[in-house]
Amino acid sequence: MLDANPTANPTNNSTGTRPAEAPADHPRIRAGKVGILLANLGTPDNHDYWSMRRYLNEFLSDKRVIDYSAWLWQPLLQLVILTKRPFTSGAAYRSIWNEEAGESPLMTITKDQTRALRDSLTETYGDAVMVDFCMRYGNPSTQSKVREMVEAGCTKILFFPLYPQYAGATSATANDQFFRALMEETWQPTARIVDPYFDTPAYIDALAQSIERAYGAMENRPDILVCSYHGVPIRYLMEGDPYHCQCQKTTRLLKERLGWADTEITTTFQSKFGPEEWLQPYTVEEVARLAREESKKKIAVCAPAFSADCIETLEEINEEIRESFEHAGGEDFTYIPCLNDDPAHIAALAGIIRANLGGWL
Ligand SMILES: C=CC1=C(C)c2cc3[nH]c(cc4nc(cc5[nH]c(cc1n2)c(C)c5CCC(=O)O)C(CCC(=O)O)=C4C)c(C)c3C=C
Ligand SMILES: [Fe+2]
Ligand SMILES: [Fe+2]
């Protein structure tokens, strides 16, 4: 009989036990730890052509992101898009790269968030929990991190995609990859997935506090706050993806929490890719339209769909979209950073994790 009680056995170690009466080569019985695996989108290992091409190829070959038939899409992707975009996107990454750490800001911030959550959760649960992160595309891969957790004795894994709003192109594909990783495991850990959290009061509160802080530091109050969300094709909404509704609701909850009028805040969508119509209004056009209005010369922009600053916020919003606003006659543009490792954000995420661990610890 196998002895699954790790504390009752002299051969106990941090990753598991071996029954006292079992032969020396008997597989270890796992320690019964709980793994908490944070997941974000992923980022290139470097900004050179081949690193960019590898990353974009994996990302843009994902059917959850671009759902065209592979027969039509792959020749276009391989022969046209992946010959040009690695150069343009590589240059954009170079402009925001964390040279000191040799990695992209998304990677640095995800590591910071993981450290802060590990500190918070091990304070409560000790070494009964293991906290780490993985990426959907590139490194560290979801599969490698699931493997590490299982090896370290995790019999349960809570998987947490760090996207406040659900989208097939983000949350669902992260979950798909997690389930693919579980398929590889002989002794599969029990798994839970954290829900989207756009309407969790602590998340809305953390967002509101970051905006109040930014507004408090400005000499003149902005005329309007633009909440710019990453876009998706409008067709995805028509096919049932709730992302658009969850973005609209995020802005509404934020407005209510701030106690603002409808005219002080608006929702837009950025990062359009390809010829299809995407969710609108497009941020880049909307900020130019606002700049042409006499009463909207001063704006602030925040990005509530991103749990961490990345190329889409630091380069696209703070460089391209700022330029569009200023070029159209706008006078004052403030980018309000993502929540990153802000203590209120970490406390909100830790609260969500604790609620999802119910009955496990
Ligand atoms: C082509 C289709 C794309 C869809 C649909 C899409 C949805 C989507 N993406 C995010 C979050 C992020 N996207 C990031 C980068 C990025 N996104 C696309 C394309 C689509 N995204 C591309 C091609 C890229 C790479 C950069 C570029 O070449 O423009 C990132 C940043 C990664 C980083 O390293 O900094 C994030 C985060 C969301 C939330 C979303 C839909 C809800
Ligand atoms: Fe994207
Ligand atoms: Fe972009």
- Which atom of ligand 1 is nearest to 232's Cα? 5
Say which residues have a Cβ less than 8 Å from residue 31's Cβ, sequence separation at least 6.
6, 12, 13, 14, 15, 16, 17, 152, 153, 155
58 is in an annotated binding site: no
Q: Are 216 and 264 in contact (CB under 8 A)?
A: no
- Which atom of ligand 1 is nearest to 60's Cα? 1
Mutate to test the pocket of ligand 1, among 77, 230, 273, 321 (most ligand atoms within 8 A of CB): 230
pLDDT tens, residue by residue, 144-176: 999 999 999 999 999 999 999 999 999 999 999
Task: State the total domains in the chain.
Answer: 1
Q: Ligand 1 in contact with 301 (CB < 6 A)?
A: no
What are the residues facing 273 on neighbouring strands? Answer: none
> Would residue 225 count as lying in a domain?
yes
> Would residue 163 count as lying in a domain?
no
> Would residue 265 count as lying in a domain?
yes
- Which atom of ligand 1 is nearest to 165's Cα? 42
Side by side, which strands form the sheet with 33-40? 129-135, 33-40, 154-161, 190-193
pLDDT tens, residue by residue, 327-337: 999 999 999 99
pLDDT of residue 16: 67
pLDDT of residue 17: 73
pLDDT of residue 12: 44
Distance of CA 6 to the CA centre of its chain: 35
pLDDT of residue 15: 61
pLDDT tens, residue by residue, 294-347: 999 999 999 999 999 999 999 999 999 999 999 999 999 999 999 999 999 999
> Would residue 55 count as lying in a domain?
no
pLDDT of residue 11: 40
> Would residue 316 count as lying in a domain?
yes
> Would residue 296 count as lying in a domain?
yes
pLDDT tens, residue by residue, 33-70: 999 999 999 999 999 999 999 999 999 999 999 999 99
Q: Ligand 1 in contact with 66 (CB < 6 A)?
A: yes
pLDDT tens, residue by residue, 4-42: 333 334 344 456 677 777 788 887 777 789 999 999 999
From the CA of 228, the nearest ligand is 1
SS3 content of the chain, % helix, strand, coil (to 5): 50, 15, 35
pLDDT at 91 over 70: yes
CA distance 218 to 295: 18
CA distance 55 to 176: 18
Q: Ligand 1 in contact with 166 (CB < 6 A)?
A: no
> Would residue 33 count as lying in a domain?
no
CA distance 309 to 294: 31
What is the domain range of residue 210? Answer: 201-335
* Average per-residue pLDDT for the chain: 94
d(CA 325, ligand 3 centre) in Å? 17
* Strand 16-17, strand 29-30: pairing: antiparallel
153: exposed, middle or buried (Cβ count in 10 Å: 0-12, 13-18, 19+): buried
From the CA of 43, the nearest ligand is 1
- Residue 141 is classified by DSSP as B
d(CA 271, ligand 3 centre) in Å? 4
Q: Ligand 1 in contact with 146 (CB < 6 A)?
A: no
pLDDT of residue 100: 98
294 is in an annotated binding site: no
Q: Ligand 1 in contact with 305 (CB < 6 A)?
A: yes
Q: CATH no. for residue 298?
A: 3.40.50.1400
pLDDT at 245 over 70: yes
Q: Ligand 1 in contact with 89 (CB < 6 A)?
A: yes
For residue 343, count other CB atoms closer than 10 A to its CB.
12
pTM of the predicted model as reported, rounded to 2 decimal places:
0.94
Q: Give the residue-averaged pLDDT of 349-357.
A: 98
Q: Ligand 1 in contact with 306 (CB < 6 A)?
A: yes
How confident is residue 228, by pLDDT bands cut at 50, 70 and 90?
very high
In a 3-state reduction of DSSP, which class is residue 314?
Answer: helix
> Would residue 262 count as lying in a domain?
yes
Mutate to test the pocket of ligand 1, among 38, 41, 82, 243 (most ligand atoms within 8 A of CB): 41
In a 3-state reduction of DSSP, which class is residue 84?
Answer: helix
d(CA 104, ligand 1 centre) in Å? 14
d(CA 306, ligand 2 centre) in Å? 10
Q: Give the residue-averaged pLDDT of 252-263.
A: 98
pLDDT of residue 68: 97
d(CA 230, ligand 2 centre) in Å? 7
Q: Ligand 1 in contact with 232 (CB < 6 A)?
A: yes
CA distance 336 to 57: 31
Q: Which of 9 and 111 is assigned the larger pLDDT?
A: 111
